Structure 1
């Protein structure tokens, strides 16, 4: 499976590039794409339009602002796409949805199997404890651009499946009690933290804490390649980590 690595010179792009060079999961490099390409590696070009060779799939770890151009290229070449960037605007999310009617698109804010399990646990716990107050705490390194994290929003949206009237409150400031419908989401940016996510459910008599810690970015690189193997050959549609867990 020949992979176009979009965002090849970023932190995650470099991790996946190393795995592609090893041929992990039957993959190989089609090319890398990065705006920072300086010609030192001829396999990495500045723009997707600079590559016209054979490819089977695109993995995107670039920037959400590139979504439109990325999907236009993928549709033109009829290539499935793994979208692993976060921070998308409502308009960009609609672009992703529309593209999925024409090609296979896998979109996730986190490619860890453990996070997929955490999302499932959180949704089920929220359904089984309708009286519990729920708060989400996420921690990342001090260079992360978006807040809350895509993973925190994944968790919140999964919980909302069990709490249809839930409202999201990002951070908390001022006076007044929390509402029963509220899901608090708190973002911490500290040092070199790779990623930690906690879901806390509390009633007047007990508290449950569900937590996931990422120890290395290799976790997400491995997950992206698993997602690529899953998506390859799939019909047009919008897929996510739930589909892998179900599969």
Structure 2
């Protein structure tokens, strides 16, 4: 896969009629370094701001017809694993923003056959970048959280995330990334999801709370506290545009790179 540096990156958007897919198409129209050539969706063929959206079941034909450089995927896990497999065969890079893969990996066999395994297999042929959140602010938050947990050993830690009423997965993919960072930096041996009844905090617990309401675009708060003080780290997304622009930044950055697995932190670092 080669890329002409001064050319627009040609992007195909999956999940194009969803909230994020539509926003990616809209934000791309304001940029001169990227162009959405088409989208795919489970819905019937439509157009979004002049961009053709084709049926998802015709994905392979769409790849051949529109010749994208990069897929930007905001679909669902079951569809995403098929899209990236087809992209690997067609030599198309993949930026994956779909979350909730754990929901289809409840057994060892399922894990081996699909989900994240499909992304890893695709990365052996094409560049694949998967992120639970494409906000640059979240990248800064992840670094801050890791440092805070290391600097405050023994402090209780609770993570609360809030999203709109239609979000499928809980905790959010971003919350899981935050939790992973906390566990890597501190001594926590289990996650406690919500509290009810007789639920005295025990050593090693990492509290997790998910809220779903209205049209909240995304809020994540980390509380660190002991008997004498507390520290709160919070990120609020004011618009889905921040995620759409980040995904497009990732697509431009990824185009033309060698096969392998990449992280959004690498995009932010450059």
Sort the TM-score into its range (normalised by shorter chain). Answer: over 0.9
Cα distance, 1:97–1:169 mapped onto 2, change above 3 Å:
farther
Q: Distance in 2 between matches of 1:112 and 1:25?
A: 20
Task: Tell me the SS of whatever aligns to 2:29.
Answer: helix
The alpha-carbon deviation at position 100 of structure 1 amounts to 1.9
Aligned residues of 1:25 and 1:225 also touching (Cα < 8 A): no
Aligned residues of 1:25 and 1:229 also touching (Cα < 8 A): no
Task: Tell me the SS of whatever aligns to 1:81.
Answer: strand
Q: Distance in 2 between matches of 1:65 and 1:57?
A: 19
Cα distance, 1:220–1:25 mapped onto 2, change above 3 Å:
farther
Task: Tell me the SS of whatever aligns to 1:120.
Answer: helix
Question: Pairwise mapping of residues 28-43 of structure 1 onto structure 2 (< 5 A)?
Answer: 28-39=35-46, 43=52
2:101 aligned with 1:88 = yes
1:228 alignment counterpart: 251
Aligned residues of 2:125 and 2:259 also touching (Cα < 8 A): yes
- Counting matched residue pairs gives 246
Q: Distance in 2 between matches of 1:239 and 1:221?
A: 18
With the length of structure 1 as denominator, give the TM-score of the two structures: 0.93
Q: Distance in 2 between matches of 1:70 and 1:235?
A: 19
Deviates more, 1:170-179 or 1:183-192: 170-179
Q: Distance in 2 between matches of 1:176 and 1:8?
A: 43
Task: Tell me the SS of whatever aligns to 1:211.
Answer: strand
Of 215, 234, 238, which residue of structure 2 is paired with 1:192? 215
2:60 alignment counterpart: 49
1:133 alignment counterpart: 156
Of 5, 13, 19, which residue of structure 1 is paired with 2:13? 5
Question: Pairwise mapping of residues 21-170 of structure 1 onto structure 2 (< 5 A)?
Answer: 21-22=29-30, 24-39=31-46, 43-47=52-56, 48-51=59-62, 52-53=64-65, 54-89=67-102, 90=105, 91=111, 92-163=115-186, 165-170=188-193
Deviates more, 1:30-39 or 1:73-82: 30-39
2:31 aligned with 1:20 = no
Q: Distance in 2 between matches of 1:131 and 1:8?
A: 45
Aligned residues of 2:88 and 2:123 also touching (Cα < 8 A): no
The alpha-carbon deviation at position 235 of structure 1 amounts to 1.6
Task: Tell me the SS of whatever aligns to 2:75.
Answer: coil
Cα distance, 1:228–1:178 mapped onto 2, change above 3 Å:
same
2:230 aligned with 1:207 = yes
| Structure 1 residues without counterparts, runs of 5 or longer | none
The alpha-carbon deviation at position 5 of structure 1 amounts to 0.7
With the length of structure 2 as denominator, give the TM-score of the two structures: 0.86
Cα distance, 1:172–1:98 mapped onto 2, change above 3 Å:
farther
Aligned residues of 2:13 and 2:39 also touching (Cα < 8 A): yes
2:265 alignment counterpart: 242
The alpha-carbon deviation at position 128 of structure 1 amounts to 1.1
Aligned residues of 2:85 and 2:119 also touching (Cα < 8 A): no
Aligned residues of 2:45 and 2:52 also touching (Cα < 8 A): no
